[in-house]
A and B are shown apart, each in its own frame.
With several copies, the nearest count.
Chain A
């Protein structure tokens, strides 16, 4: 039953693609509207709410003081996790973290971590004894497509506006966390045979594989991930990588505007 809908939807998407159209009227490389709000939650040391089309996510940053790993006595840590709880949509079920939520969290995590935007040595309080641990938790509240990009945006925005609660930890005065870069993610989904930017939930349902690209300030690649059934050619990748270069800059500007 459930599977009949995608079949019809797939036909419709194929037909639209032939005319280079999308189901909600957008252009192939056009994104939905994005509203970003930071510093919106009591108790979180950094927080962001992203409304991306009809997709809604929250990200929150918490800190902890912990003992460093013996082989890295001066390094703090960063951890990013995402929850796809049943609140996010009809298809989500309670239970242990799904492969989907694990992938989401790990892809966002890698994009931030590998950009090097957090200097792990700057999180040292007393070498070998105390370092800061940063934990970014992402909560998807309404999944209407492209949660990856929304979550990555919320995570970096919450991080860039986070205040280290030094007083609470008895290590001096509160201060803003130092974040040296604004890595952002740009995802593409194959719909009607060709890639489009920022697929909505219908395009995801009737589409194929997707590619997630995270780029840093210099346009360097920090994380790639292909998801779902399907293959792509090197030439296809070249095309979307170029689109991503422009789009990631715009997203970074959106984040950086929050800090002023």
Chain B
């Protein structure tokens, strides 16, 4: 978290700079099946963030040494397009994207029924086309929808959500200014049906009480986004079976 400077993030009327309430999330739009070359895909717009995810597989895992005898491996690449940020970023992976790819893969492995596909690999390609704070969560949401679109069995979806702290106040779903000048950020990957947590990171400064408020906001948001995810998958299913393709 930036955590410095005297930037005012809450208005006198208690609302946030963009007019949202403290427990209100940004608008979310989801579409499944947007990339014809992939076995499954999704497009998610969350605020001004845009993420696209393509699924390839299950396919034979190679090189051989990455194979697991009893399950599929999930091979995630989280990547930011060079034009996705205010200052252009050089193409290729950096330490941040490698860490996010690792923990995202581990979160997805927690829900995909990987034991159904021994020795195989499922490629999850998350591309961030526009970044406005919270891209790792948007990527997780996109990956869950794309996996479902690819027909890969999962015991639940995962929803990527985050809460944080600005001006000593806990708020849901930080936007760019709040992320830059806020005091804490708590991104989570939540299983909407069971309320289990498959993805967890946090940085900044949170008391135990503040943590609990963040958790409560995240749970609420997970349910809201879940509805939008299911709706996108239903539309995709209908379009496929309605003869359009």
Task: Please determine if A and B sit in direct contact within the complex, based on CB atoms under 8 angstroms apart.
Answer: yes
A interface residues (Cβ-Cβ under 8 A, vs B): 3, 41-44, 47, 54-56, 58, 60-62, 64, 81, 83, 85-90, 94, 97, 99-100, 102-103, 105-106, 110, 113-116, 135, 137, 139, 141-144, 168, 201, 209, 211, 216, 218-234, 237, 241
Given contacts A43-B131, A106-B95, contact A227 B106 (CB under 8 A): yes
Q: Please determine whether A228 and B200 come into contact, CB atoms closer than 8 angstroms.
A: no
A137 near B83 (CB under 8 angstroms)? yes
Chain A nearest CB from B174 CB (Å) reads 15
| Nearest chain B CB to A187 CB, angstrom units | 13
CB neighbours (8 Å) of A135 from chain B are 82, 88
Decide yes or no whether B54 CB sits under 8 A from chain A: yes
- Structural contact, B88 and A87, CB atoms closer than 8 A: no
A64 and B208 alpha carbons, distance in the complex (Å): 37
Specify the main secondary structure of chain B where it touches its partner.
mixed
Task: Tell me the total A-B contact number using a CB cutoff of 8 A.
Answer: 193
Contact among A81, A87, A142, A168 for B36, CB-based, below 8 A: A142
Is the CB of B48 closer than 8 A to any CB of chain A?
yes
State whether B125 touches A233 (Cβ < 8 A).
no
Contacting A106 at CB < 8 Å: which of B38, B84, B99? Answer: B99
Residues of A within 8 A of B41 (CB): 142
Q: Say yes or no: A44 contacts B130, CB within 8 Å.
A: yes
Residues of A within 8 A of B70 (CB): 3
Interface-forming stretch among B15-23, B24-32, B190-198?
Answer: B190-198
B208 near A221 with CB under 8 A, answer: yes
How many Å lie between the Cα of A227 and that of B102 in the bound state?
A: 8
Q: Are B197 and A232 in contact (CB under 8 A)?
A: yes
A90 touches B83 (CB 8 A): no
Q: Tell me if B177 counts as interface (CB < 8 A to partner A).
A: no
Number of B residues near A (Cβ < 8 Å) is 67
List 5 tightest A-B contacts by C-beta distance, closest first.
Answer: A60-B83, A54-B36, A224-B202, A87-B125, A226-B200
B82 pairs with A90, CB closer than 8 A? no
The answer on a CB contact under 8 Å between B50 and A85 is no
Q: B198: which A residues are within 8 A, CB to CB?
A: 226, 230-231
A137 / chain B contacts, CB cutoff of 8 Å: 81-83, 88, 91
1/0 contact trace for B111-125 toward A, CB 8 Å? 100000000000101
Contacts of A44 in B (CB 8 A): 83-84, 130
For window 70-116 of B, CB contacts with A under 8 Å fall at: 70, 77, 79, 81-88, 91, 95-96, 98-99, 101-103, 106-107, 109-111
User: Which residues of chain B have C-beta atoms less than 8 A from A113's C-beta?
Assistant: 203
With a CB–CB cut-off of 8 A, which chain A residues contact B3? Answer: 114, 116
Verify A87–B91 contact, CB threshold 8 A. no
Chain B residues near A237 (CB, 8 Å)? 197
